[in-house]
Structure formats: structure tokens, C-alpha cells
Structure 1
Amino acid sequence: MDYQAAAEWAAERMQTYRKDASGWRSCKRTNEVSISWRPSTEFHGNLYKAEGILPGKPQDVFKCLKPETGGLREKWDPNVKEVVVIEKINEDASIVRTITPSAFMNVISPRDFLDVVLIKQDEDGTIASVATSVEHPLCLPQPNYVRGLNYPCGSFCIPAPGELSKTQLLIFFQTDLGGSLPQSVVESFFPSSITGFYSSLTKAVIKFVA
């Protein structure tokens, strides 16, 4: 499989999502994040967009998000049990396995996701981390986890205009959790999960890097 090509395709899709402002419907808003959605063009579920301002420069926020074995993500995100880099493709791209615990009062059983992740930094200081699901011979599906699928997704850590010590965090994701979950459960879980994500990440940036 051409992992680099898959990663570049995901990056192109993410840029498309950023530029296309049509069709978004607001579904949840807090002091920390605004969440909207529209039907995905990649699979039968929804594409979610989340936007919020976090304390800390983009590189500080990204330290908490960076997909690395034994990294900070495992320490602050209750929806992530383990992150493992299966293979480093090159300086910018890696194959990453993410294991999630049971959630939504155990209605959602543990999952694992296997993605190619591409990390890039733009000239304006934006740090982008984009991903999409792939297969890899060193990480086949395991019977004790439901293998979920991520369609083009990821985050943009953008320097906040006029705020040198803050970051605009823009996230897109579209995930097929797999299994036989009712759509109503999925649609309730994701907005609440994103809200908790921004809240936990804000605390993590202050605690670990800011």
C-alpha cells in the first residue's frame, strides 16, 4: 500500500473541508468550543467540525496532540488508552495505532484504529496533523477490540490572530465506530466527546507545556 499517497489524499480532503463553508449545522457550543456537522461524503455517517481557542502557542498545543508512543495524549485524554507508532514511513508520516477504552457508560466497547498520520507545518506557523485509516501487516484486527475506521480527519493548530500566546484549534473528524451501534448513540456520543476533548486539552496545555 502507498501510505504516503493515502496521507497526501487525506491532507487534500482536509483542505477541502476547511475551504467549503456550506452545509454546516451547529450541534453544540460551550465557552471552549463550537461544534457543527454535515453529512459525510466519504461514508454513511457525519463529518464533524470543531473550533476553539486554547491557551498556549501552536507548538505547545501540538505537543499534547502529537501521535507518538507513550506521548502526552495518553496522560490527559480519557478517550485514549494507548498510542503506538507501528512504523515510521518518513520524517512526516507514520502508521499509528490508537486504542480507546469503553465509553458512553460501556455502551461503546473498546476500539482500535490504525491510521497513516501526516504532520506538516505551514509558513504561517500552522501545524497540521491529518490521518486516514489504513491496513498494515504488523497490526491486524484483534478479537478483543472492534476495529474502527477514520475517514480523512485531523487537526489544525493555527496561531490565533493578534494573540501570540493562544492557538485556534480546528478539528475535523468522521469516524465509523464499527460494530452494531444505533445511529442515535453515535450522534449523541460524538458532540459530548468533542466537548470533553477541548476541556481536557485546555487543562493539559496549562499543566504540561504552557
Structure 2
Amino acid sequence: MDPALAAQMGEAVAEKMLQYRRDKSGWKICREANGVSVSWRPSMEFPGNLYRGEGIVNGTPEKVWGCVKPLAGTLRDQWDENVSSFEIIESITDTLCISRTATPSAAMKLISPRDFVDLVLVKKYEDGTLSSNAVNVEHRSCPPRPGYVRGFNHPCGCFCEPLPGEPGRTHLVTFFQTDLSGYLPRSVVDSFFPRSMAGFYANLEKAVKKFYS
């Protein structure tokens, strides 16, 4: 992929993620438990929903980031039950890459295995916040594979934010805007994401303790 075009696309996605982060309007809470809140609103990108998760994770931003970062050396496929494999297809810079993420079947196998090919940009802000910003792309070396339905991530990612006065804890905000493709009842998709996102936070906290204690 042309590096200049990739960088331009990555920055556009990062700007859109900041807009999601700042815009407090239109969100409807669909799940709250154990300090984690999951909200949704209709997506402007596709005929589905944009989901937002928010919660506090015990662990420094660096440790939390070490478990969620979508770059080479990630621990994500070792703890996230919704990720069966993660690979870098092309490294464009040290903060910009194209990745392939495979997911296992879910919802009692109503959702079959999926894979996603994304352009991913990592950013660090002046306040210490680390963010991942991703969007689906096509790549010549990663066509659809047998046994997987190719899904599409519209602008999505996360913000690992320091908590003032609490250096050992992280405010984590996540955004999912995923077209799972295939022939899935809307009710299955709408029930899967909130439950999956709540489980993500619980499993992440266990992972931080496991890998960094």
C-alpha cells in the first residue's frame, strides 16, 4: 500500500475517533455491570450500530496498552476470547501497519469464524493517552480465506487514558463499528456486541494481572 495514502487514511480515521470520543450526544446505554458501561447509537458508516465501551482497568496505561495494542508483539490473541489469531500483513512505519485478525465462532456458533483486514494507526497524545485507530482495507496478499467470512471494521479502536492522581489505573474507552457480513439476524448481532464488550474489559483486567504482576 502506498505509504503516503496509508498515512492519510490513518490520520482521517484517528480524527473520526476523536470525534466519537468527544461527542456525548445520542448514546443509549445497553449494558452496565461491574463498572463497565456499553452504549450504542446508529452508525453513520453502515446500516448497523456504533458501540462505545467505557470502564476503569487496574493497571498503568502502558501495561493495559501492552495487552491491547494492535502491533507486532501484541498479547491480544493470548487472552481475548474473541481473537483466535493476529498477524501483521505489512508494516508501513513503526506506528502504521496492515493487520489481519481472525475471530472464532460465537453466540453458540450462530456467528461463524470471521477475519478482518485493517489499516491501523497508533497515536500518543500529550497527556499520555495511547490510541489505536483502525479501518478495513483490501490487501493483495490477504484475500478471503476458506473457512472464514470476511468482515469489515468501520472506524474503530480504543483510547488508553491516564487517570489523574491514580497512576496505577487506566480509563479505557473502546469503539466497535463492525459489519460481520453474512446472513445474520439483527437480533443476534445486537445482543452479541454489548455482551462481548463487557467480557472484553473483565478479561483484559485478568490479562494485565497475569502478564504484568
TM-score tier, shorter chain, comes to over 0.9
CA contact (8 A) 1:29 1:35 kept: yes
Equivalenced residues, count: 210
Check whether the contact 1:80–1:101 (CA below 8 A) recurs between aligned residues.
yes
* Aligned partner (choices 113, 119, 122) of residue 122 of structure 2: 119
Are the equivalent residues in 1 in contact too, given 2:71–2:97 (CA < 8 A)? no
**Paired residues for 1:51-66 under 5 Å:** 51-66=54-69
Counterpart of 1:204, as a letter, is A
Letter in 2 for 1:139: C
Q: Who is 2:11 aligned against?
A: 8
Name the structure 2 match of 1:192.
195
Map of 1:100-115 to 2, 5 A cutoff? 100-115=103-118
Contact 1:32-1:198 at 8 Å conserved across structures: no
- 2:76 aligned with 1:78: no
Equivalent residue for 2:159? 156
CA distance in 2 between partners of 1:139 and 1:69 (Å): 17
Q: Which runs of 5+ in 2 are unaligned?
A: none
| Percent identity for Structure 1 against Structure 2 | 56
Which position in structure 1 is the counterpart of 2:47?
Answer: 44
**Cα deviation 1:164-188 (Å, max 9, x = unaligned):** 1100000111000000101000000
TM-score normalised by the chain length of structure 2: 0.96
Answering whether residue 138 of structure 2 is matched by residue 173 of structure 1, we say no
Q: How far, CA to CA, are the matches of 2:132 and 2:111 in structure 1? A: 26
Alpha carbon RMSD of aligned pairs, Å?
1.1
The one-letter amino acid paired with 2:116 is: F
Say which is worse superposed, 62-71 or 122-131, in terms of deviation.
62-71
